[in-house]
Amino acid sequence: MRSAKVPHGKRVVLAGLIALALLFVVGKARTNSSVPKDASETASSYPLKVSANHRYLLGQNDVPFLIAADSPQGLMARLTEEEADRYFANRQSHGFNTLGWVDVLCAGRDFPDNTDAATVDGIRPFLGYLPGGTDHAHYDLSKPNEAYFARLDRMVTLAAKHGLFVFLAPAETNGWIPTLHNNGLSAAHAYGQYLGNRYKSFSNIAWLNGNDFISWKDPKDDALVQAVAKGIRSADPGHLQTVELNYETSSSFDDPTWVPLVDLNGSYTYSATYMQMFHSYSQRPIAPVYLVEAHYDQENVGHPPDYGTPPTLRREEYWSMLSGGTGVFYGNFYTWSFSPGWKYYIDTAGVAQLTIWKKFFSSLPWYELVPDQEHSTVTAGLGTYGTFQTPVSKSDFCTAAKTADGAFVLAYLPTVRTITVNMAALKAPANAKWFDPANGTYTPVAGGPLTNTGTRQFTPPGINSDGDTDWVLLLDASDSSASSKTPK
């Protein structure tokens, strides 16, 4: 979805290929050991469902599901089944539990060299054309090619073998709006019904509509894309749906006509992620909020542009979780489209540090965190909130959250400075430690347990293990009963 966005100023790879090579080398050095798959993340965990309070997702085992996703959008066009199996195994080894997302059909602006949306071995998704052309825009959606969709069936099954949940994009809007126009509303709805009927028995899927859906404010375009979603829902009411609207900043619920159709509210931004995540979290009705797209590993995007370095990615990921998130979609310039050389850029420092991110939050009741939007928990030292034009790499704003019972308080600091915490936000005296998001180690704060009265100042230890300045403060006032409970 991204290299072809260059005409819109979205994706420009930095000329410094040396920097990319360094990222690869660093990533390889840090990812030699595999990460065991969480017991809750198996094919039997799926399908996912929304929690009773509508704030997060649950597996069928009623264990809260933290979305840790890679975004292999071009998989159907670029990989053989054998390559996909190896890619899935790699992502599983790093702790990914989700593919967010796979384009059912790969053509158009994101895949300009694939005019017929064929697989790498030449299988086309449809067997007939409408009058006017023989390109993907003129495919007859009523004539799906069984061989193509059987390939997609096997890809989804392979993902399940590796415990991976898959968001499928039925007609991604970067490439398929012309096709939908040529086919019309009835055919779009029927195509959705075809997909819904075909995949309703696959437990490890959800549906992600849109993708850089910049024309959603055009009622005709919006109606066509919604016709596909409604067709899916009519045949398959059991699977979750969501939608990605426009870059550079949007939330799924910004289009009120999508609200009745989707179950998850995706935040999309190239700015500091807390801004859009707070917006999504506050929208109604309440729905699980997740980071659907932001800066990708090894890409340069935004206005002003900002490069996807490990510290930039960490900011996005930790901000998102402390702003009400139920998970994030990571992305990589090479692996979203499987561009030439992707196998050399798959094990990056950004991937290794997402593994650390997942292990950190999985060790905590992250699903109970409430963002400190009123700054009643961290009361000073917050930094500058910034604007949507502030580069992520330059933003120093501190996000914080606490569990409703006061068992945990977390604060993410992109830069070293002193913050002030209202200790009365905790239910009991607390132990404090600093977490290094670059290598996953902890540095205890002396003097604990710290009393849960008054205020206390905390200052990070200094430079972290990567030579950067971001840290997470963890205050733990839990007891065994509070830390072990699992909501239904």
| Mean pLDDT within 440-447 | 97
pLDDT tens string 287-335: 999 999 999 999 999 888 999 999 999 999 999 999 999 999 999 999 9
In residues, how long is the chain? Answer: 488
Whole-number pLDDT of residue 61? 86
Q: Are 459 and 418 in contact (CB under 8 A)?
A: yes
d(CA 109, CA 128): 22
d(CA 22, CA 336): 20
Domains of the chain (ranges plus CATH)?
Answer: 3-363 (3.20.20.80), 371-484 (2.60.40)
Beta-sheet pairing, 325-329 with 289-293 = parallel
Ramachandran angles phi, psi of 397, nearest 5°: -70, 140
Whole-number pLDDT of residue 304? 87
pLDDT tens string 394-417: 999 999 999 999 999 999 999 999
Nearest Cα neighbor of 137 from 75, 173, 180 is 180
d(CA 30, CA 33): 8
Question: Confidence band (pLDDT; 50, 70, 90) for 43?
Answer: low
Sign of CA dihedral 175, 73, 393, 419: positive
Edge to edge, the sheet with strand 399-403 lists: 369-371, 399-403, 408-413, 471-476, 431-436, 441-444
Residue 8 pLDDT greater than 50, yes or no: no
Amino acid at 273: T
Residue 28 pLDDT greater than 50, yes or no: no
Question: Which tops the pLDDT comparison, 11 or 62?
Answer: 62
d(CA 225, CA 241): 13
Q: Are 161 and 87 in contact (CB under 8 A)?
A: no
pLDDT tens string 221-277: 999 999 999 999 999 999 999 999 999 999 999 999 999 999 999 999 999 999 999
d(CA 363, CA 194): 41
Q: What is the DSSP letter of 456?
A: E
Q: Are 276 and 323 in contact (CB under 8 A)?
A: no
Q: Are 152 and 123 in contact (CB under 8 A)?
A: no
Tokens matching residue 339: 């561009």
User: Measured between alpha carbons, how far is residue 199 from residues 48, 69, 128, 204 in Å?
Assistant: 15, 20, 22, 10
Find out whether the peptide bond into 285 is cis, omega within 30 degrees of 0: yes
User: Which run of H or of E encompasses 292?
Assistant: strand 289-293
Amino acid at 478: S
DSSP characters for 393-433? GG--PPEEEEETTSSEEEEEESS---EEEEGGGSSS-BEEE
Residue 421 pairs in a beta bridge with 378, 456
Dihedral in degrees, nearest 10, Cα atoms 230, 204, 167, 290: 100
Residue 3 pLDDT greater than 90, yes or no: no
Residue 152 pLDDT greater than 90, yes or no: yes
